[in-house]
């Protein structure tokens, strides 16, 4: 427990909770019992001394859109929806894709999934490349001077890969997966990635993460016809371990990167047998791997994972395994998630199967996302939570903001504003604290944080058809403000008053309560 946490004082919040009667106004009719006689005083306990993880914050990926959108005339407006604390949702983490040099590779059939590299075959660097993506990054930083930047790769540069491509060769499904990067090229890949991190650091960016591997357990094979869908590279468990060791050794020699952590391994499915095997091979303490893993356990105290596919039970199993592997000091960063159409644990699987594939702009998708974020914050104690691709061009549930390529028009999803219920009011350095709801609110999920400036933020997920009205009295806090996302509101300020005034948890809504002294 940090000294900051130890200084926090126990706080108890008392809520008077009553279900709102449908159709009732502020007054009562002759045949309606006054709400005051049916209300029961309930206690919600907020206890800052029962502290959990310290947050890095919330973010999103700039992959597959910023290399075009960064040069649009309305790019600033688009980035402000994401990173501006006033007009947007105040994200503070930016995941920048280091491309592998596939921009001119027509075998990757989707143009948006190709990416430039900053290096040529002769080893020369060209920092003017990826100009639109760099402009998008600069716009985000202009809105948040303390922006955290993670540089991540899906593949090593094509000049280093076995087949000269940014993806693995096609093989029949019954053949073993094969990597596209030989061990003798690990040092070259590390040198390139570190050069990129140093460049962005010297350009004034706060580069806090370097992630060379993405979902290594998948094959990332091209198709039999010679085409592929995106950049990607398979690595076995031992190949991951050996590559990370090379990166750690080189990064340790760079004073400029002392605040940049090596991130890994960006697992694509938490809690499976495959995931557990990677964990044991790279970070296990016992057996043949024990001594081999000392460097990784010390050099990678934060593990980056993806929240796709996993059930709450799988997440809990993984949390238990991490506790066994690392002890109580482990940190997990959930660095990628979107609502995959075949993900039966997304909360919208049945809806997608019923309605078909689309962008999923409505509140059902927002509520489902809130549930996933809540799981990851409370089951996995995630110190960071990042959405997959911040912007998309429509037709799939992978974006927060949707863009028209021709007109450059912008449409927001409820997912954007729901994420904002967490990100806009939870600062870097905030501490997740204990919040306990009474059994009468057992169908409402909640999570609470104490920010470095002393404010307390509580997020309530009411995924029911019943609205609630509550009052609050909190020692040391005098005022509250609520912000609601539901079918009619997009992170709207709906109420403010003294700490003891009533506030609402509307039906099928996300409500953020901010308490000030």
Single out the residue of 132, 63, 118, 90 nearest to residue 335, CA to CA: 63
pLDDT at 235 over 60: yes
For 31, 417, 469, the CA distances from 39, given in Å and listed in that order, are 17, 31, 10
Separation of CA 83 from chain center: 14
What pLDDT is attached to residue 441?
Answer: 84
Residue 228 DSSP symbol: B
Tell whether the model's pLDDT for residue 10 goes beyond 50. no
CATH number of the domain located at residue range(s) 57-428 in this protein: 3.20.20.80
Per residue, the 3-state secondary structure of 79-134, as one string, reads HHHHHCCCCCCCCCEEEEECCCCCCCCCCECCHHHCCCCCECCCCCECCCCCHHHH
- What is the chain's mean pLDDT, rounded? 91
* pLDDT at residue 2 in the model: 41
- pLDDT tens column, 363-379: 999 999 999 999 999 99
Q: How confident is the model at residue 329 (pLDDT cuts 50, 70, 90)?
A: confident
Residues 6+ away with beta carbon under 8 Å from 125: 118, 119, 195, 199
Checking if the pLDDT of 421 tops 50, the result is: yes
The pLDDT of residue 503: 84
Q: What percent of the chain has pLDDT over 70?
A: 91
**Residue 71: DSSP 8-state:** T
Q: What is the pLDDT of residue 6?
A: 37
pLDDT of residue 473: 61
For the chain, state the CA radius of gyration.
24
Given CATH 2.60.40.1180, say whether it is the number of domain 433-516: yes
Mean pLDDT of 45-68: 95
Using the predicted structure, report yes or no on whether residue 27 has a pLDDT greater than 60.
no
* Residue 103 or 288, more confident: 103
To which H or E segment does residue 162 belong? none
**Domains of the chain, residue spans:** 57-428, 433-516
Three-class SS of 264-290? CEEECCCCCHHHHHHHHHHHCCCHHHC
CB count in 10 Å sphere of residue 208: 23
CA distance readout (Å), 441 to 246, 398, 471: 51, 31, 14
Give residue-wise pLDDT tens across range 68-91. Answer: 999 999 999 999 999 999 999 999
The contacts of residue 73 (CB under 8 Å, 6+ apart) are 408
Give me the pLDDT at residue 3, please. 39
Tell me which of 283-292, 331-340, 392-401, 433-442 is least confident: 283-292
Q: Strands 40-54 and 11-19: what pairing? A: antiparallel
Q: Are 19 and 466 in contact (CB under 8 A)?
A: yes
């Amino acid at each position: 427990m940090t000294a900051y946490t130890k200084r926090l004082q126990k706080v108890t919040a008392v809520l008077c909770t009553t279900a709102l009667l449908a159709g009732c106004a502020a007054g009562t009719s002759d045949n309606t019992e006054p709400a005051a006689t049916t209300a029961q005083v309930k206690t919600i306990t907020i206890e800052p001394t029962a502290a959990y993880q310290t947050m890095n914050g919330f973010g999103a990926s700039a992959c597959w859109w910023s290399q075009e959108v960064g040069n649009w005339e309305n790019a600033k407006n688009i980035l402000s929806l994401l990173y501006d604390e006033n007009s947007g949702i105040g994200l503070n983490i930016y995941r920048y894709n280091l491309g592998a040099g596939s921009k001119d590779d027509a075998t990757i059939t989707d143009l948006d999934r190709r990416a430039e590299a900053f290096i040529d075959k002769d080893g020369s660097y060209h920092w003017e490349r990826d100009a639109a993506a760099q402009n998008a990054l600069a716009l985000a930083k202009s809105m948040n001077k303390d922006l955290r930047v993670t540089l991540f790769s899906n593949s090593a540069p094509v000049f280093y890969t076995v087949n000269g491509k940014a993806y693995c060769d096609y093989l029949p499904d019954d053949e073993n997966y094969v990597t596209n990067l030989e061990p003798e090229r690990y040092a070259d890949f590390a040198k390139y990635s570190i050069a990129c991190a140093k460049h962005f650091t010297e350009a004034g960016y706060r580069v806090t993460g370097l992630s060379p591997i993405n979902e290594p357990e998948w094959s990332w094979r091209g198709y039999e016809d010679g085409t592929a869908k995106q950049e990607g590279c398979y690595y076995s468990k031992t190949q991951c371990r050996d590559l990370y060791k090379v990166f750690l050794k080189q990064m340790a020699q760079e004073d400029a990167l002392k605040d940049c952590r090596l991130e890994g391994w960006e697992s694509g499915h938490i809690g499976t047998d495959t995931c557990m095997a990677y964990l044991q091979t790279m970070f296990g303490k016992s057996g043949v791997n024990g001594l081999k893993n000392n460097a990784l356990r010390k050099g990678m105290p934060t593990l980056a994972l993806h929240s796709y596919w996993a059930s709450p039970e799988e997440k809990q199993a993984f949390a238990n395994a991490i506790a066994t592997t690392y002890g109580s000091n482990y940190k997990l960063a959930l660095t990628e998630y979107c609502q995959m159409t075949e993900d039966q644990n997304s909360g919208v699987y049945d809806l997608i199967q019923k309605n078909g594939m689309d962008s999923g702009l409505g509140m059902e998708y927002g509520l489902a996302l809130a549930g996933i974020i809540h799981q990851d914050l409370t089951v996995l104690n995630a110190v960071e939570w990042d959405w997959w691709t911040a912007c998309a061009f429509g037709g799939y549930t992978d974006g927060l903001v949707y863009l028209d390529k021709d007109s450059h028009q912008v449409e927001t999803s409820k997912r954007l504003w729901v994420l904002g219920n967490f990100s806009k009011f939870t600062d870097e350095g905030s501490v997740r604290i204990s919040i306990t709801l009474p059994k009468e609110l057992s169908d409402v999920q909640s999570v609470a944080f104490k920010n470095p400036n002393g404010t307390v933020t509580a997020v309530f997920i009411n995924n029911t058809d019943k609205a609630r009205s509550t009052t609050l009295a909190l020692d040391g806090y005098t005022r509250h403000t609520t912000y609601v996302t539901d079918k009619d509101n997009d992170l709207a300020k709906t109420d403010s008053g003294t700490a003891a005034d009533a506030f609402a948890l509307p039906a099928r809504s996300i409500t953020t309560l901010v308490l000030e002294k």
